[in-house]
Amino acid sequence: MNTNLTTDRPTFVTHLECSMTGERYEADQLHNLSRVGRPLLVRYDLDGVKAAVSRDTIAARETDLWRWRELLPVRKSASIVSLGEIETPLVPIPASGGANVLVKDEGRLPTGSFKARGLVMAVAMARELGVTRIAMPTNGNAGAALAAYASRCGIETIILAPQETPEINIREMALQGARVYRVNGQIDDCGAIVGKGAAEGRWFDFSTLKEPYRIEGKKTMGLELAAQMGWELPDAIFYPTGGGTGLIGMWKAFDELEKLGWIGAKRPRMFAVQATGCAPIVRAFEKGVDHAERWENAATVAAGIRVPRAVGDFLILRAVRESGGTALAVDDDAILAAVDACAKRDGVLICPEGGATLAAYRKALGEGLVDAEERVILFNCATGLKYPMPAAGEMLDRNAEIDLASL
């Protein structure tokens, strides 16, 4: 257990580690990428965790994100800036998905998306390490989460979003205290501007995987899933993949849980789901390479996975390959049809990125990549209420005779 900081929390962070070279970095210091330009991973004294807490103790705690505190990096309770990060439910969708398909509905989290997991942890650590100004590129939901948590603890926030970012996301970020700017480019173009400002010392760069702690928040999806399923992981996980932080985080969580002896060696097959209009990970997977080239002219209705280049591409691909899974792309028509089917047939209003996972599951089922008898988890990463919906509702004139039988 680290004793370098004044702490009132049982924390077991030992160091940070370059995800590519294994080079060690000091904990409790500000870091972006490693010296070779790759993400840093937080490492823990897992033997210490095992001695300090049991699986049964975790299971008996209140079911929120902070129940996993021994496996999280925040050392001081005063650093935590919470908006109520609940355990998200597993919702069956038997009509549109099948008898063994569950949706993990991350839209129930603060700010309506799974970005709350990563940003609550990253902001807490920024607060702990003395950051006062943050900048970040976003396609929408990450910026909303950052704005909410940073504003709550008094950290100044500048957010850059691609021009086609949904208007509701832009207004949401601004209303929650961020300074928001649209950029005539994609999210990596926004990231380049953020990076330039960070190099000039104007702010701390919060881009996906360019600070170490968003992964730690996102890995709670894997920790939570294991507990919800009785410490036996599902057969397959379909995950909407842009920057891929959650997929990487879950794979890390499973490794940590096995080392603690809380789960066995079984792993789910990881399906990285992208849109045909922006599928750099799928292309790299099919080519058998470790790094994905930038996807030019990216376009899809699923804005959250419209990421032309991911800095953690090799980590996504590593997890998919090690798991025996695959990377799949589905087109916008299939995505929208899946959203429609899930809403109309199962009453679950998922976002387009969540629709992509359902469409990909159907595709995988048809291609024999998954069996209908297998237990499958689809990740819905945000509430569908944030996204455009088809026009509906015919007008009735209350002063005219209404044919009730036709209604």
- Judgement on whether residues 185 and 217 belong to the same structural domain of the protein: no
- Cβ contacts of 264 within 8 Å, gap of 6 or more: 232, 258
- Judgement on whether residues 247 and 311 belong to the same structural domain of the protein: yes
Q: What is d(CA 274, CA 348) in angstroms, rounded to the nearest whole number? A: 21
- Judgement on whether residues 248 and 358 belong to the same structural domain of the protein: yes
- Judgement on whether residues 145 and 217 belong to the same structural domain of the protein: no
Q: Which of 34, 56, 79 is at the close of a domain?
A: 79
- Cβ contacts of 303 within 8 Å, gap of 6 or more: 139, 140, 164, 165, 166, 352, 353
Does a structural domain hold residue 5?
A: no
Q: What is the pLDDT of residue 1?
A: 39
Does a structural domain hold residue 399?
A: no
Tokens found for residue 322 = 């090690």
- Judgement on whether residues 221 and 232 belong to the same structural domain of the protein: yes
Per-residue pLDDT of the chain (407 residues; tens, 9 = 90+): 343 445 676 689 999 999 999 999 999 999 999 999 999 999 999 999 999 999 999 999 999 999 999 999 999 999 999 999 999 999 999 999 999 999 999 999 999 999 999 999 999 999 999 999 999 999 999 999 999 999 999 999 999 999 999 899 999 999 999 999 999 999 999 999 999 999 999 999 999 999 999 999 999 999 999 999 999 999 999 999 999 999 999 999 999 999 999 999 999 999 999 999 999 999 999 999 999 999 999 999 999 999 999 999 999 999 999 999 999 999 999 999 999 999 999 999 999 999 999 999 999 999 999 999 999 999 999 999 999 888 898 999 999 999 999 99
Instruction: Print burial letters for 161-179: b (CB count within 10 Å at least 16), e (below 16).
Output: bbeebbeebbebbeebbbe
User: In total, how many domains does the chain have?
Assistant: 3
Does a structural domain hold residue 393?
A: no
- Judgement on whether residues 158 and 240 belong to the same structural domain of the protein: no
CATH code of 171's domain:
3.40.50.1100
Query: Domain span at residue 195?
Result: 115-205
Does a structural domain hold residue 314?
A: yes
- Judgement on whether residues 256 and 354 belong to the same structural domain of the protein: yes
Q: What is the pLDDT of residue 6?
A: 52
- Cβ contacts of 40 within 8 Å, gap of 6 or more: 16, 17, 18, 19, 25, 31, 33, 34, 212
Global pTM?
0.94
Q: What is d(CA 98, CA 105) in angstroms, rounded to the nearest whole number? A: 16
CA angle 353, 348, 89 (to 5 degrees): 85
